[in-house]
């Protein structure tokens, strides 16, 4: 048996071990937030079929119909209608897909960019480390939402622009976290043995170092998804996010703010949808951090 084979566990064994670990830990997850997130995910996938109306259909004769539980309400519009006569329930349901898509896609982009650059900076050091860290410092020196707003306004609001903007301006935390852990891991015996065995840097990074940092990065991603969703809502509220008539919770709140005194449901229901989603994500993120962050279990040190 070669040294390389001795220090490199099979990918199948690693994958099976990770799946078993995830399944075992999910059984201990907080039930209510998990149920809420499962419900949101279900609505995100099947929202177009669950919505009773087309969320973009305008009905000027049915403007500001109250929710069905209020006087003057109608069972045909359970949550009422907005200032253009559009069904609020349909718009809230379709807004789930927009928020979850932006949150997951932007976080995935930031995850990939930040993890890759963090691995390069921590392992190779030198000028690449200095360059990447100076870019990180520059991004952290300015408010990310302000940079995203300037970029979105310059390019023009769209779903793709929002995803790109939030992904490109939120990877710095991943890079700093991964770099700090790689600086410690590259001096460990298993990495030195892999170098002696003739493994290439790419193989060492992917097969030896990445599996040891991935849990911390996943925890960070779970904690950042709520922030990304709130940032998307903020951009849409300011008119630089997902453009109308596409249903976006931030845009719905922005459009309904002028009618708070007479039609409070225009802002209340999308606001509650954001609050419940972000709260459930934060609780699950805290739970993941307690379960998988080695710095909270004595398995490592802070970078």
Per-residue model confidence as pLDDT tens digits over 226-237:
999 999 998 888
In terms of phi and psi (left: phi > 0; alpha: psi -120 to 50; beta: otherwise), the region of 269 is alpha
pLDDT tens, 107-130? 999 999 999 999 999 988 889 999
Percent of the chain with pLDDT over 90: 34
Greater model confidence, 249 or 147 = 249
Residue 12: pLDDT band (50, 70, 90) is low
Q: Would you place residue 299 in the very low, low, confident or very high pLDDT band (cuts 50, 70, 90)? A: very low
Is 188's pLDDT higher than 50?
yes
As a whole number of Å, the end-to-end CA separation of the chain is: 36
Q: Is pLDDT above 90 for 104?
A: yes
Q: What is the pTM of this model?
A: 0.83
pLDDT band at 100 (very low <50, low <70, confident <90, very high): very high
Residue bearing tokens 């201990």: 28
For residue 87, what is the DSSP state? B
Dist CA 131 CA 276 (whole Å): 40
Confidence of residue 203 (pLDDT cuts 50, 70, 90): confident
Mean pLDDT of the chain: 84
Q: How confident is the model at residue 302 (pLDDT cuts 50, 70, 90)?
A: very low
pLDDT of residue 1: 42
Residue 300 has pLDDT above 70, yes or no: no
Q: Do 273 and 92 touch, CB atoms closer than 8 A?
A: yes
Instruction: Give all domains of the chain, ordered by start, each with its CATH number.
Output: 78-296 (1.10.3720.10)
CB atoms within 10 A of CB 191: 20
**pLDDT given for residue 96 in this prediction:** 93
Note the pLDDT of residue 13. 63
């Amino acid at each position: 048996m070669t040294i390389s084979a001795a220090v490199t566990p099979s990918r199948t064994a690693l994958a099976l071990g990770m799946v078993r670990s995830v399944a075992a830990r999910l059984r201990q997850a907080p039930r209510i937030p998990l149920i809420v997130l499962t419900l949101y995910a279900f609505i995100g996938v099947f929202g177009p079929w669950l919505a009773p109306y087309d969320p973009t259909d305008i009905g000027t004769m049915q403007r500001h119909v109250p929710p069905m539980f209020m006087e003057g309400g109608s069972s045909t519009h359970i949550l009422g209608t907005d200032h253009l006569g559009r069904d609020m329930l349909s718009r809230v349901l379709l807004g789930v897909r927009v928020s979850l898509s932006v949150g997951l896609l932007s976080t995935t982009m930031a995850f990939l960019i930040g993890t890759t650059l963090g691995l390069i900076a921590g392992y190779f050091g030198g000028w690449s480390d200095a360059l990447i860290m100076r870019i990180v410092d520059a991004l952290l020196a300015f408010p990310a939402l302000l940079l995203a707003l300037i970029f979105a306004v310059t390019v023009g609001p769209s779903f793709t622009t929002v995803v790109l903007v939030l992904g490109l301006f939120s990877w710095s935390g991943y890079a700093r976290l991964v770099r700090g852990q790689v600086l410690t891991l590259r001096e460990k015996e298993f990495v030195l043995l892999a170098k002696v065995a003739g493994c290439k840097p790419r193989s060492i990074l992917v097969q030896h170092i990445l599996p040891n940092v991935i849990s911390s990065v996943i925890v960070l991603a779970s904690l950042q998804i709520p922030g990304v969703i709130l940032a998307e809502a903020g951009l849409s509220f300011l008119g630089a996010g997902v453009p109308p008539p596409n249903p976006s919770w931030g845009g719905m709140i922005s459009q309904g703010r002028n009618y708070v005194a007479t039609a409070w449901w225009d802002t209340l229901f999308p606001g509650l949808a954001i609050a419940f989603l972000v709260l459930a994500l934060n609780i699950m993120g805290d739970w993941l951090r307690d379960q998988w962050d080695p710095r909270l279990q004595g398995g490592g040190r802070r970078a």
